[in-house]
Amino acid sequence: MNVPPPAWAAELPPCRDVWTAMRDGVRLAATVWLPEPRGGHPVLLARTPYGRGPHGPGLRLDVARLLAAGYAVMVQDVRGTGESEGDLRFLTGEAADGHDTVTWAAHQQWCDGQVGMFGDSYLGIAQLLAASERPDGLRAIAPSVSPAGLHDVVYAGGVPRLGVVLPVLATVIAPLQRARRARLAPGEHGRPDAPPARLDEMLRRLPVEDQPEIADAVPFYADWLTHPDPSHELWRDAGLEARYGKIEVPALLSTGWYDYFRDSTVRTYHALRDRARLVVGPWTHALRERTLAGRDHGEHASGEAVDWTGLHLDWFGHWMRGTPLRDDAKVRVFVTGACAWREMADWPPEGEAVRYHLGDGGALGPEAALCASFLSDPGDPVPTMGGDVLEFLPPGPGPVDQRPLAGRADVLRYTTEPLPAPLQVMGAAELVVTAESDAARSTVTGKLVDVCPDGREEILVDGVALVADCAARPERVRVLLGNLAHVFRAGHRLRVEVAGSNFPKYARHPSAARITIGAPSYLLLPVAGRPRSSRGDVRPRS
């Protein structure tokens, strides 16, 4: 992955390369930048599989500013990547390696005994795993766009996150691994720059675990796709569920509404609530721009406007130097639709779970009769149209217009009347459908859309659920759509879309299925500003 160097990269002082020995004797390579004057400084550490340059993927902070503020910065190649020894295990083992690295750094003469950790995605969960081991010297962490475990990386609703896992492994990790092997053993591993198979061909291949183009570089991929059970030992070492209670250091958690690890970050916030802060912007996994998929969220929406590095300096300064927090909001979220930041005491805020029932004729509102069916055909799956997807997965992430899907018989649409007043939604939305299938196993996907008066149909959140054992009788299926903070403006309409696929974001089921949904089927929407004790069905206003 080619990342152009930021302007501040030219301002960095000379660095030093160091080797850190893990408990099993494997040595990991790292680069250290030291501020002036020389002496002991608090250290900010990032551990990455993507290369330890100061501006690689996941390293979003301005290193020059960190140094100017008096922090030493250490970036390490995780095991089996870059110049580090060992074999890449992809998150497995990162708890122990992170512990050993933090402990080593805290005892160096250029460290004052305090270590903080930062970084995005893989670098984010590596912090959480390390923190669960409670290493000496670790004072604070700042995981951004972070999954909640290896299983969480690979699966959603029991279905592989194909549009995340396969592109990342095929276009980023596998090429890095091949280049590393060629560098360590020239001539033994073929051309490191050999072009891989076309990604679209790999995504469409069935079975999904059969990917010979990457089997040499990332042999763990096939194991992932053949062990969907989250309780399998394959996932245990790289999961956070059993580790949350061991994390004692304060955590600055951040994500975006169009980040595919958005709900994972919120789940981590809930687990660490008494020692965590949460920031959510109108962003994707990798982009923090004000405009996304043609929707301009305003001049205050971007990461630059937020001063991303400054936010982290504030956080680490408080926990490592005792300075007061300038921004002490427990939760800070950007409300889409309203295009404004809001500070909150917790997430989600007080509200009511309101039911919008799916009804015959495409109505979405009061409880009504419902019987509708569609054929889900793996040979012609419903294409992914935006949402929380990879930046290079066409047509890209964000509130993409869904009108290109109009006319497909395998997408059921349910829409409210135009809203007479704004509707503020904050929390996790869920779709519950009563489903019956003529196949033993299939998938059901759901999508929440904001239909604008000008006709634009913007996706907000979506989800998928694996459907099993509903061939004999209807089953209640829960599709977790995800967290959002959004204002549906007056004149806008809510829409729910139900289908059997959302490809390639989620792996399609290999068998065709006719899926029938009936009553009760409803959208469960967290409407802010109403007491949670009050729960009921939406009724049209006069």
Place of tokens 């991929």: 221
Task: Look up residue 193 and give its two tokens.
Answer: 């720059």
- Nearest one of 180, 178, 162, 161 to 213, comparing CA atoms: 178
Beta bridge partner(s), residue 45: 74, 117
151 is catalytic: no
- Distance, in Å, from the CA atom of 410 to the CA atom of 89, rounded to the nearest integer, reads 40
Catalytic residue among 97, 100, 259, 410: 259
Give start and end residues of each alpha helix (H) in 107-141: 122-131
**Which string of DSSP letters, residue by residue, matches 257-298?**
EE-TTHHHHHHHHHHTGGGEEEEEEEEESS---SEETTEE--
How many CB atoms within 10 Å of residue 303? 18
Determine what percent of the chain falls in helix, strand and coil, rounding each to the nearest 5: 25, 35, 45
Contact of 517 with 370, CB cutoff 8 Å: yes
d(CA 468, CA 72): 53
Tokens of 146: 């972070």
Angstrom distances, CA of residue 342 to CA of 105, 269, 278, 301: 37, 17, 12, 12
C-alpha span between 35 and 368 (Å, rounded): 67
Catalytic residue flag (residue 285): yes
User: Dmax over Cα atoms in the chain, in whole Å?
Assistant: 76
Look up 259 and say whether it is catalytic: yes
41, 151, 189, 285: the active-site residue: 285
- Of the listed 84, 121, 146, 264, which one is catalytic? 121
CA distance 93 to 105: 18
The catalytic residue positions are: 121, 259, 285
